[in-house]
Amino acid sequence: MTAPARIDRRQRRRLETIEEIVDVAVEVMTEHGVGGLSLGEVARRMGMRTPSLYVYFDSKNAVYDAVFARGWRSAYETTGALHLDVEGTVRRPAQLEPYLLLVSRTFVRWTIENPAHAQLMMWRPVPGYEPSADAFAAAVDALEAARSMFVRLRDLDLLRSDVALDEMVQTWTVITTGVMTRQLANAPQESFDEGRVTATLPALVAMFVAHYRHSGSPTKGKK
């Protein structure tokens, strides 16, 4: 009866160590650039020898996969909460433009505050690295959540029904990831609240709403 408990403890400790390795890898990437990840440095900070890391990850790309997937899961969870009310049911936005501005600000703030994750998720900073299918599944989930948001807004007659959904999602993605990219590339020292680039989000969202809002809905959305 004691063997399963020992196995559970070992499994729990292994999972904790994996999470700690990912934490340290993100720390190294933040300091030295995403492409500057060194497993030797991760091991040093973990207080272990480099070969010991291979007990948990079979390659550097596997560590990148863990960072990539964790980032998308975190971003998805952060923005997903905005689509639900306090009872956990899907929320009907009171006004379209303020709602989309809140969603965009929440997502972009997350990327600015998690630059190592965001760069790996949305850029290609590591030559030869492509996320595995398992890691990329987290990105697919996040994209599907965005699509579902636009489907819901369109079904509520807040967005045009004569425009392909893929076009709206693509345009939205260009806006949000474009703001993130310009700020991290040109002013990485600026916080989200201080950023000159992030400050353009209200105008960009207003342009998005002006172009894609349903003709029967008010400019600021409909009650």
| 215's tokens | 């003709």
How confident is residue 17, by pLDDT bands cut at 50, 70 and 90?
very high
| CB neighbour burial string for 164-173, b if at least 16 within 10 angstroms, e if fewer | eeeebbeebe
Whether 1-58 and 59-223 share one fold: the answer is no
Whole-model pTM: value is 0.88
Quick one: CATH architecture of 59-223?
Orthogonal Bundle (1.10)
Domain 1-58, CATH 1.10.10.60 — does that match? yes
Q: What are the structural domain ranges in the chain?
A: 1-58, 59-223
> How is 7-53 classified by DSSP, letter by letter?
HHHHHHHHHHHHHHHHHHHHHHHHHH-GGG--HHHHHHHHTS-HHHH
pLDDT at 87: 45
Looking at the chain, how many residues does it have? 223
Cβ pair 129, 64 in contact under 8 A: yes
The 3-state DSSP composition of the chain as helix, strand, coil percent (nearest 5) reads: 70, 0, 30
Please state, in angstroms and rounded to a whole number, the distance separating the CA atoms of residues 151 and 90.
12
pLDDT per position as a tens digit, 61-115: 999 999 999 999 999 999 877 765 444 455 667 789 999 999 999 999 999 999 9
